[in-house]
């Protein structure tokens, strides 16, 4: 079955938090992709394959970052340039140049600076694409439809105004969405990413693309098995554990 891992990173730092991948681990993972002849493609490439029912390129992978932390510019961006890799960064434009203390931030998440518009501007001209992640990172499923629509539409327009390019992709904060919210996103974007854990296939919904959260690979060497039959088994195991944890919280 044709499938592609859409890798999800958040912060590239050494704090050990649930959103963090250390700089050294990130570089070793990117080096593994390069030395193993992976082809890093864009989200647009993925969506076109799904729409055209065309298999993904062999050994393809996609690199994404949620939230837009400054350490992406400091730590990840030089590594991406070294290996010539594309990436998409999902921004919270109402907080660009500030930090990640938006309302609803879970306990235990470190306070971290976010990208400035000057840093974003430089990255735009060197192979990094930017997507929208709402204006202020709310749980959209708890918003009124009018509020959710503003968060989605304004985040797209603000980013486009700053970077001078179309914003094609959206990522749902916390992975939360409803049917109405997905319809708003469909009206605004070419595709969108979820937090559903799994590989993207030709059967995937382009407005709820599953991804591989790199938290599950950043504290061990399981990343080295990304292209082996073991990788989907491990991802499915983590998916079951995540569902059990969510059930216990209900």
Number of domains in the chain: 1
**C-alpha–C-alpha distance, residues 10 and 173, integer Å:** 12
Give the CATH number of the domain where residue 140 resides. Answer: 3.20.20.370
Tens-place pLDDT, residues 91-138: 999 999 999 999 989 888 999 999 999 999 999 999 899 999 999 999
Domain carrying residue 169: 3-249
Tens-place pLDDT, residues 178-198: 999 999 999 999 999 999 988
**C-alpha–C-alpha distance, residues 50 and 69, integer Å:** 30
Strand partners, 8: 64, 213
On the 0-12 / 13-18 / 19+ scale of CB atoms within 10 A, 141 is middle
Count of other CB atoms within 10 angstroms of residue 160? 15
Do the beta carbons of residue 127 and residue 89 sit within 8 Å?
no
Query: pLDDT tens string for the chain (250 positions)?
Result: 689 999 999 999 999 999 999 999 999 999 999 999 999 999 999 999 999 999 999 999 999 999 999 999 999 999 999 999 999 999 999 999 999 999 989 888 999 999 999 999 999 999 899 999 999 999 999 999 999 999 999 999 999 999 999 999 999 999 999 999 999 999 999 999 999 988 999 999 999 999 999 887 765 555 665 666 655 555 554 554 443 333 333 3
């Amino acid at each position: 079955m044709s499938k592609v891992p859409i890798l999800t990173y958040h912060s590239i730092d050494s704090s050990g938090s649930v959103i963090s991948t250390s700089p050294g681990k990130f570089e070793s993972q990117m080096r593994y992709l390069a030395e193993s002849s992976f082809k890093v493609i864009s989200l647009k490439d993925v969506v076109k394959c799904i729409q055209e029912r065309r298999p993904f390129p062999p050994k393809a992978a996609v690199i994404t970052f949620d939230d837009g932390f400054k350490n992406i510019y400091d730590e990840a961006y030089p590594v991406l340039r070294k290996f010539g890799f594309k990436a998409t960064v999902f921004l919270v434009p109402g907080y660009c140049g500030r930090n990640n203390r938006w309302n609803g931030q879970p306990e235990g998440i470190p306070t971290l600076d976010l990208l400035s518009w000057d840093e974003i501007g430089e990255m735009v001209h060197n192979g990094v694409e930017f997507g929208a992640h709402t204006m202020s990172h709310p749980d959209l499923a708890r918003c009124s439809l009018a509020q959710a629509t503003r968060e989605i539409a304004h985040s797209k327009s603000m980013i486009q105004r700053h970077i001078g390019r179309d914003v094609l992709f959206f990522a749902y904060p916390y992975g939360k969405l409803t049917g109405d919210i997905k319809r708003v996103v469909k009206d605004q974007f070419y595709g969108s990413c979820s937090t559903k854990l799994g590989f993207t296939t030709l059967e995937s919904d382009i407005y709820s693309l599953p991804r591989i959260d790199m938290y599950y690979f950043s504290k061990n060497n399981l990343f080295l098995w990304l292209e082996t039959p073991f990788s989907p088994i491990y991802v499915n195991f983590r998916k079951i554990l995540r569902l059990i944890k969510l059930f216990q919280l209900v």
